Amino acid sequence: MATSENGGEELQHRTQQSPLASQRAKEQGQASGRFAQWFPLGAKEGFSQWWAGTSPAATEHRVLSFIPHLQKPPTHHQTGSAPVSAAQLSVDLPSQPHHDEEHVTTTSINDPHGPRRWNSEMVELSGNGRALNEFSVERVGEDVENNLVMLHGYGAGLGFFYRNFEALSRATGWKIFALDLLGMGRSSRPTFKIHAKDKEGKITEAENWFIDALEEWRIKRGLDRFTLLGHSLGGYLAVAYALKYPGHLNKLILASPVGIPEDPYAVNEELPEPQDSTMANEFTQDAAETSNGIKPATADNNNFLNQRKKGEQAPKNEPPRRRIPGWISFLWEANMISPFSLVRWSGPLGPRLVSGWTSRRFSHLPQEEAQALHDYSYSLFRQRGSSEYALSYILAPGAFARSPLIQRIQGVGRQWIQAHDGPTVDGDTPPKKCHKTRSKSPAPSIVSTVQSFHSSASRQGERENGIPIIFMYGENDWMDVAGGFASEEKINQEKARILANATPEERKKDQGEAKVIIIHKAGHHVYLDGWDQFNRVMLEEMADVKRREGVR
């Protein structure tokens, strides 16, 4: 008798044509029609995918099965919200453990770099409906000396790092964690609502929504110090976390982070009124178009959000101006819709809309992997809306930040070790102790809070002595690398200012530094487009952390 796994796979292959197949046919002149050119998935295949309603757990499992030496990854069943479609295809997960927290171990026989323990788990947080989806890997028989935490970008999920887990987990003494941000991926999707009335409060509350959950997760996992990697929006939030919760990072790695450059029009723009929903836009939609006179598969042409090219075209003596259609700005500021709302509302048309992005974004990947990422993306995009609605409180139309990181980046690694209301930069004297937070997220439990501060109680009132900050950009990135170089300069200036009157011992202890790295032939998704170089750079930085921590 055939298993339900095989039945599900047969149905999937029978009813879902690869978007890349249509895309490649179009390039060969076999496709016709303007709609088919932009959204290559066929109507029949799109309807079949919508009707099947394959769960995010199944699609995540499929993506992670491409991890070398891990064809049967552990995959827990929980997902933050149910698919919109009432008609779902039940696909069994062949490697599903009997218990959600049960792990899969690869041995030295089937894993030349093993043995390694792989785990998939939903980590429950305090409050109603708050939990983070976690995927982790650690080496068996070794003490965990260091931890790496990976955060994805806007609307994505931890599965996008599938080409990085195996290589990074070869590092001895390291445990790798990948998390779905609260309200995204397969994490829980509580209702997002802003309570603050003032502009600064709205920005802080939106940032706290994500980083308070990350801090509570850290406490539950018992991590005192760790290395934090964030991509795009995840990079922005990684900076925010470092500012609000100082003393826990030994290195910060920002992969094509959003929100660094300053645009006076974004900074001075009035924020929308608090509502349950806000406007968002898929600023990570890359397309394989001409860049610098060539047409690499990973070149980024990010529609109206390609700010680098627009900045180059602007007069040098004038501030950057918004070059965005009026209707886009109106929808963004009016909190009327999000790109994922379009996918949810479009019903059977949803998979075809998603194929417009996935067919171009993953065109450089093997067809089977590209298909799995398309299925994974659609299954996530169609989930209930939650923290996707935070975007317009953080970014103005055009992907410029409301509170640019270039104004705050110098504070990373220089904060006073004490409680903070939000991700603001400390001065040279300790700030007043905060009595309340603007965030409405449930606070960690009393026991967790005591445990959190117990390890750093002796450091209360001390100031951080800097941490290394790495900026990574793709060679064809639509995110402007100039923001990374400007940040590097500002960080170095702050270090020079602080150490100007420091003692020789203080100078020796200082760890603050910054550098910019370019990933060749990569676009915005540097970890996927240039995964081989990205993994090598990461292993070098992890070895540097191990050396520094050993000295410390």
461 burial via Cβ count (<10 Å: 0-12, 13-18, 19+): exposed
Active site residue 524: yes
Residues linked to residue 232 through DSSP beta bridges, in sequence order: none
Amino acid of residue 537:
V
Is residue 180 flagged as an active site residue? no
Backbone angles phi, psi at 180, to 5 degrees: -85, 130
* Rounded distance between C-alpha atoms, residue 23 and residue 402, angstroms: 37
Pick the catalytic residue from 232, 256, 338, 452. 232
What single letter denotes the amino acid at residue 476? Answer: N
3-state secondary structure of 443: coil
- Nearest Cα neighbor of 511 from 459, 541, 469 is 469
Selected catalytic residue, list 180, 263, 300, 477: 477
Q: What angle do CA 32, 35, 38 make, to 5 degrees?
A: 95
Q: Per residue, what are the HEC states of 294-317?
A: ECCCCCCCCHHHCHHHHHHHCCCC
Exposure string for 96-129, b = 16+ CB within 10 A, e = fewer: bbeeeeebbebeeeebeebebbbbbbbbebebee
| Cβ-based neighbour number of residue 524 at 10 Å | 26
Regarding beta strands 146-151 and 226-231, do their DSSP bridges make them parallel or antiparallel, or are they unpaired? parallel
How far apart (Å, rounded) are the C-alpha atoms in residues 9 and 215? 39
Which residue, 143, 87, 97, is CA-closest to 118?
97
Tokens describing residue 252: 């910060």
Q: From the DSSP assignment, how many helices (H) and strands (E) are in the chain? A: 20, 9
Angle at 203 between CA 420 and CA 219, to 5 degrees: 40
- Tell me, yes or no, if 454 is annotated catalytic: no
Query: Which residue numbers are catalytic?
Result: 232, 477, 524
